[in-house]
Amino acid sequence: LRCSCRLGGGLVQAGGSLRLSCAASGNIVRLITMGWYRQAPGEQREMVASITSGGSEMYANSVKGRFAISRDTSKDTVYLQMSKLKPEDTAVYYCHLFQVLATGPRENWGKGTLVTVSS
């Protein structure tokens, strides 16, 4: 299982919007959860949003009402629609894939894409 998360990052002004996409490829069986994490400079990596195979969504309190996660199972792709962006949203965003194989659980991380929000 692999994740491509390079599409969608970039520079945006405060109040603007961006959409990130992460396409999973390879062994996609038993892909339970797809989500997004971010890591700001000097900070720990934190969960931003996640969505299960059943469509259950979870968001960090800091992004509720501004970000929306969605999943297209036919395309094995997860999206993060980011609106009303703030400078504090500046971070490297990572796609996260969680699956359970016969050999056990496995986590997969994308290499990240930089989102910079200017004042």
The pLDDT tens digits of the residues spanning 1-12 come to 777 665 778 999
* Residue 63 DSSP label: G
User: What's 74's DSSP letter?
Assistant: T
- Strands 91-101, 31-39: pairing is antiparallel
- List, for residues 12-51, the tens digit of each pLDDT value: 999 999 999 998 888 778 888 999 999 998 999 999 999 9
What are the structure tokens assigned to 47, written together? 């969960």
Q: Where are the alpha helices (DSSP H) in the chain?
A: none
Instruction: Quote the pLDDT of residue 76.
Output: 86
In this predicted structure, what is the pLDDT of residue 6?
A: 57
